Amino acid sequence: MFQLDKLIRDNIKTLKAYSSARDEFSGEASVFLDANENSLGSPLKKWYNRYPDPHQQAVKKALSLIKGIAPEHIFLGNGSDECIDLLYRCFCEPGKDNAIICPPTYGMYEVSANINNIALKRAPLLPDFQLNLAHLETLIDENTKLIWLCSPNNPTGNSLNRADIEMVLNHFDGIVVIDEAYINFAKQNSFIQDLVDYPNLVVLQTFSKAWGLAGLRLGMAFASKEILAVMDKVKPPYNINQVTQELALKAMEELGQVKDMIRILVDMREALVGVFESMPTVEKVYPSDANFILVKIAEARKIYEFLLTKGIVVRDRSSVQLCEDCLRITIGTEQENTDLVDAMQDWYASQTIPE
Ligand SMILES: Cc1ncc(COP(=O)(O)O)c(C=O)c1O
């Protein structure tokens, strides 16, 4: 049975969270002499001399309308990378607890585990990049606190089967994190609406992909109030800066534009899949539910280097297990995609031996 109390690290259970000036006073006032800010202003805009709302209430309220979930179920991080790190720090005892990843997958689950001295177990995906449930099950022990599932997965691009994810959610007593960084490009529905059924579920999303705001650093975690209360206690008080909060609010007024971009990117993805599938040395273009494609192609490393000479950077994943000879290619603008395809034609031309 899932018991959150058993998962929280002892030192976090007893931790008394920092109480910021903005926590201790919340009401109407006109003279703020409580936070050692610069009362004169700043070289920029006067507004920025003040600390931001530590609870990001306005952003959460706007987001709750878009996501169809109450603000109490939303946590905001400095990128979802901060949420990943916080989940380890809240629930995994360094040197004792462990977490499970399903490689090939997003690299920060491993880096964050290493930073926090958390042992990592691996249940590699099957050749079709779906979960190996039988293997996963054998890895779980009494110290397993987190299972990381990335859907759609980076770098493979596919969504994990919903029934498999549900199986993990139903049978694991620790926390299951579903990283949905690329969900807006997928045919599958988000698991956000399933939070009511699963007290052990944390869903991660981000403003870095479909929203086009990677530079702002704004990630989201959706979970039960109880899980988020632990994360709130551990996060730095002002982890989302004022500029990010303001710009995120502005961006959320333009939801239509974001939906248009998603549609265009998905269309261009499908077109690019077709073009790559017709290339002579392409072994496979993996089906993608994300804003990138994974292409298995002969001499991937050489092509990567050739593209660099043309000023085009793709991600060489050929040294990653199960991604041998694979390049991960982000969908660009129409012009960038054309430039990429032209460069690939130049590559093939350079390979023909003159008679
Ligand atoms: C699966 C996945 N999760 C999380 C992130 C990081 O997102 P953020 O920019 O919100 O830290 C990435 C970035 O590439 C990603 O691929």
Q: Is pLDDT at 354 greater than 90 in this prediction? A: no
> For 101, what's the count of Cα atoms within 13 Å in the CB-facing half-sphere?
20
Closest C-alpha to ligand 1, atom 11: 79
Q: How far is the CA of 40 from the centre of ligand 1 (A)?
A: 38
Distance in angstroms between the alpha carbons of the first and the last residue of the chain: 71
Task: Give the per-residue pLDDT at 355.
Answer: 61
Q: Are strands 74-77 and 219-222 parallel, antiparallel or unpaired?
A: antiparallel
User: Can the peptide bond before residue 124 be classed as cis, meaning omega within 30 degrees of 0?
Assistant: no
DSSP letter for each residue of 239-269: -S-HHHHHHHHHHHTTHHHHHHHHHHHHHHH
Task: Give the per-residue pLDDT at 343.
Answer: 98
- C-beta of residue 347 within 8 angstroms of C-beta of residue 303: yes
Q: Which of these, 139, 135, 191, 134, lies nearest to 160 by C-alpha position?
A: 191
Q: How far apart are CA 150 and CA 203, in angstroms?
A: 10
> Tens digit of pLDDT for each residue in 105-158?
999 999 999 999 999 999 999 999 999 999 999 999 999 999 999 999 999 999
Q: How far is the CA of 60 from the centre of ligand 1 (A)?
A: 20
Q: Which two tokens stand for residue 323?
A: 């991604």
Does domain 4-253 bear CATH number 3.50.50.60?
no
Domain 4-253 shares a fold with domain 256-351? no
> Tens digit of pLDDT for each residue in 92-105?
999 999 999 999 99
The model's pTM is 0.96
| Opening angle at CA 193, ends 190 and 194, nearest 5 | 95
Range with the poorest average pLDDT among 42-51, 125-134, 169-178, 336-345: 42-51
Q: CB of 206 closer than 6 A to ligand 1?
A: yes
Q: How far is the CA of 84 from the centre of ligand 1 (A)?
A: 10
- C-beta of residue 120 within 8 angstroms of C-beta of residue 110: yes
Q: Is pLDDT at 353 greater than 80 in this prediction? A: no
- C-beta of residue 124 within 8 angstroms of C-beta of residue 95: no
For 105, 130, 295, the CA distances from 157, given in Å and listed in that order, are: 10, 11, 10
> Is residue 5 within a helix (H) or strand (E), and if so which, with residue range?
helix 4-7
Q: CB of 151 closer than 6 A to ligand 1?
A: no
Of the pLDDT bands very low, low, confident and very high (cuts 50, 70, 90), residue 28 is confident
> Tens digit of pLDDT for each residue in 241-297?
999 999 999 999 999 999 999 999 999 999 999 999 999 999 999 999 999 999 999
Instruction: Give the count of beta carbons closer than 10 Å to the beta carbon of residue 105.
Output: 23
Exposure pattern of 172-189 as b/e (b: 16+ CB <10 Å)? bebbbbbbbbbbbbbebe
Packing angle between helix 334-351 and helix 255-277, nearest 10 degrees?
10
- C-beta of residue 323 within 8 angstroms of C-beta of residue 258: no
3-state secondary structure of 293: strand
User: Once rounded to an integer, what is the mean pLDDT over residues 28-37?
Assistant: 91
Q: CB of 79 closer than 6 A to ligand 1?
A: yes
Does domain 256-351 bear CATH number 3.90.1150.10?
yes
Domain ranges, ordered by start, for the chain: 4-253, 256-351
What type of residue is 232? D
Task: Give the per-residue pLDDT at 20.
Answer: 85
Q: CB of 80 closer than 6 A to ligand 1?
A: yes
Q: Which of these, 130, 227, 149, lies nearest to 190 by C-alpha position?
A: 149
Q: CB of 208 closer than 6 A to ligand 1?
A: yes
Q: How far apart are CA 234 and CA 133, in angstroms?
A: 32
Q: How far is the CA of 81 from the centre of ligand 1 (A)?
A: 6
Q: Which of these, 184, 193, 195, lies nearest to 255 by C-alpha position?
A: 184
Q: How far is the CA of 2 from the centre of ligand 1 (A)?
A: 27
Substitution site in 75, 76, 80, 220 for ligand 1 pocket (most atoms within 8 Å of beta carbon): 80
Task: Give the per-residue pLDDT at 22.
Answer: 79
Q: How far is the CA of 278 from the centre of ligand 1 (A)?
A: 30
